[in-house]
Structure 1
Amino acid sequence: MVKRRTATWLVLILCSWLALSMACSLGGGDIPTPPGGRIPVSAEAAERLRQNFARGLQEASTGGEFRLFVSNEEITSLVALTLQESGEMPLRDPQIWFTAGRVYMTGSFSPFWPLRFDSVIVIAALVQNGQIVVQIERAQMGPFPFPQRVLDTSSRSINETLRQMQSDLEVTHLEILEGELQIAGVRRQQPAP
């Protein structure tokens, strides 16, 4: 009798776990996809972005204006290959694209087997007082949207990091076009001692 009851509970728990994992693996329904289909990942595109970034910093260091153009393929490749190399974040198959003035990032988040959540983050970015400022407009993991409070806190944290990274740069232009992010600016003049 006790063995039968234990077996029944075990079957119920396993069925519940299976149903939960299947439901979570179904995604969230309204996860957008990149216009034009899947964005390819390549080491060449990631390296191109690294070189363009280094060139932009070099231009800025000589007092000139820097310009940085980032394509969907370049940013997706850099993020995907970096995640693959580090293996620290349970995000797989990232796709990042620029469209309609927004940055979209999707991927499959798997905190532990067998759970898998199709996820999305939508970010707006603008220039404010010479610095890039972002606002996370939407974040969803599977069918679960993040509360606005979490989005606001995350946006503030990202903006603080960006502020520190941009301390000696003045961004004069940021535009999110179809398939491309454009950033321009100059190095801030350091006051004479």
Structure 2
Amino acid sequence: MAEKQSSTSSNQETDVLEPDISCGYTETCKPKCLQKFANPKVYLLIISLCSIIQGFAVNGINNVNISSYERRYLLSSRNSGLVASFYDIAAGITVVFVGYFGGTGHQPRYLGAGVASLGLGCFIMSMAHFTSPSYQPAAAGLTCNYNSSSSGANCAGSEDDAFLKNYLYVLLLGQALNGFGGTCLYSLGVTYLDQSVSAKMAPLYVGEKY
């Protein structure tokens, strides 16, 4: 009788300690249609697609457009270099907090917030193009001296074009959000993938991600 009670209590403890692997948005919103996606293969596919998009947007489009940002928004070479490097600056600042809170908190939620931040950052940087007036270099009336300073071109234009320099802060905000999202994606994404599969299959899944 005592052995049955001990086995029953051990089973109850196992049930209590068993982690919740159900897929959903919140603790109370877990639709049944999403439960078929609660497996490591689907997670690997999603995290790989996010990594591809992040690399394409941050290391591809943004770096290629740095010279265009400099001409379009009348930025100096120093400011355009700040835009290019602000992703790494934001990632270096937030990696400490993401590593600490992500290790003690709910990792999938931090990953979701990181991917959302990455998408928002790309959206903000693209909105700088759509919200600024049409680029008309012939009608701008700018007089630029490219040899006057090592910090970039010294352009004198109309007062209506002066506000274009304020788009520097829009680009920095977008890069900051991209830095936070990339930190969550690469620091927590691999860790959560390693925890979701066996030790034998972990190298295969991590290798397929990269």
TM-score, with structure 1 as normaliser:
0.28
Q: Which has the higher strand share?
A: 1
Structure with the greater relative contact order (CA < 8 A, sep ≥ 6): 1 or 2?
2
For normalisation by structure 2, the TM-score amounts to: 0.27
Higher helix share: 2
